[in-house]
Structure 1
Amino acid sequence: MNLKGDISTFFRFLEVGVFETENEFSLQHELGIFLRTMIESPYKLQFGRSVNFFYPNEKGQKSEIDIVIYNPATEERYGIELNFPNKGQHVEQMFHLIKDIKFMEEVKKLGFTKTYAVTYVEDALYYRGSKTDGIYAYFRSNKPIQGVIQKHGGKKEESLQIENTYKVRWNSLGNGGKYYIVET
């Protein structure tokens, strides 16, 4: 299964107007419907599937995966966490994007075959701006996401421990949007 390639294909279709998205909900469903046409039996695709469906005793920072593709006859499982931030609050939203990478790391560690954190933006301040330090560095200056990530400001101070190293590589679309796929 070339799920990363299928996700990239979806964004190429989004770029030329085959799909329209206004928010994260529509992005999740358009991508899920598209991916459902790409997978074959016996694979299943489900939205908002609980981690506890696969691992009944696990408790993590989050409990539902946006899109899950799995083979019920085997241990083959794929998780996708999607984001379409579009309402400012850049520091909060950027930290949330890192939280999703952490969540996908946790799901992968439990035994998923592959997991992906996918983000689509139409707001250039996620990938370009005068600030390139702190949390901005991970999205604007290609600083690797790794180790302890701190969030300063906003409602409360928080930190996350990222086990592996990830880089956000923005892919430009002709419609003015950009997306990235981080495989954990």
Structure 2
Amino acid sequence: MEIRSHIEAFFQRVLERETEIYNEFSLQHELGLHLRTAGVDHKVQFERPVEFFGISKSATTKREIDIAVFSGDRQTPQAIELKFPRNGQVPEQMFSACVDIAFLEDLVRAGFSTSYFVIVAEDSLFWQGRDEHGIYAPFRAGRPIHGLIRKPTGKQDATVDIAGSYMVRWQGGQQLRYAVVEVAQV
């Protein structure tokens, strides 16, 4: 099943103002509704606990999947994790995006098929700015998300380890941009 093409078609509708998204909740529900009505012949469910798929909570970075797409027998499920930061906190949200990608890696290692991380931003500080080092590099300077990533603010002892190498390629216009990151078996 080709989820990515459905995600891209959804964002075409958003950019053409046929579908309105204004926060992460609206993104989750509008994308889920789009997947359900776009001919995806699988179940599309929200906030599914990892245990539903036979995965221990202790084996993953997070506990719930933003959007789970799966067949009736739960074979080769796919996950979509979402981020639509609205209140600044740019470096913190970038780190949180990396945590979501690590979570998708956990799910793929546990048997999920290719899964996707989707980030949407209206604040240009997510895709441009003077600082292009550290946490900013993958989002502003075209460098891959990979390896050990340290939380940039607050208690900086939090880290996340990314096994694969992922590029954030922003698409869209001046007011709203999005990126879709594919996470497959490493």
**Please, what TM-score do these two structures have when normalized by structure 1?**
0.94
Please tell me the residue identity of whatever aligns with 1:126.
F
Partner of 2:33: 33
C-alpha separation between the residues in 2 aligned to 1:39 and 1:119? 23
C-alpha separation between the residues in 2 aligned to 1:109 and 1:74? 16
Alignment of 1:136-147 (within 5 A): 136-147=136-147
Deviations 1:39-63 (A, max 9, x none): 344x211011111000153422211
Structure 1 unaligned segments of length 5 or more: list them: none
Deviations 1:94-128 (A, max 9, x none): 10011101111101110011111100111100000
Please tell me the residue identity of whatever aligns with 1:161.
D
Asked whether the equivalents of residues 148 and 161 of structure 1 are also in contact (C-alpha less than 8 Å), the reply is yes
**Please, what TM-score do these two structures have when normalized by structure 2?**
0.93
C-alpha separation between the residues in 2 aligned to 1:86 and 1:76? 33
Aligned in 2, Cα 1:54/1:123: closer, same or farther, shift over 3 Å?
Answer: same
Alignment of 1:21-170 (within 5 A): 21-41=21-41, 43-59=42-58, 60-73=60-73, 75-170=75-170
How far 1:152 sits from its partner (Å)? 2.8
C-alpha separation between the residues in 2 aligned to 1:40 and 1:170? 25
Deviations 1:47-100 (A, max 9, x none): 111110001534222111010110123512110001101111111111001110
Asked whether the equivalents of residues 92 and 154 of structure 1 are also in contact (C-alpha less than 8 Å), the reply is no
Partner of 1:171: 171
Partner of 1:7: 7
Aligned in 2, Cα 1:74/1:89: closer, same or farther, shift over 3 Å?
Answer: closer
Structure 2 unaligned segments of length 5 or more: list them: none
Please tell me the residue identity of whatever aligns with 1:5.
S
**Is 123-132 or 71-80 further displaced after alignment?**
71-80
Count of residue pairs the alignment pairs up: 182
The 3-state SS of whatever aligns with 2:85 is coil
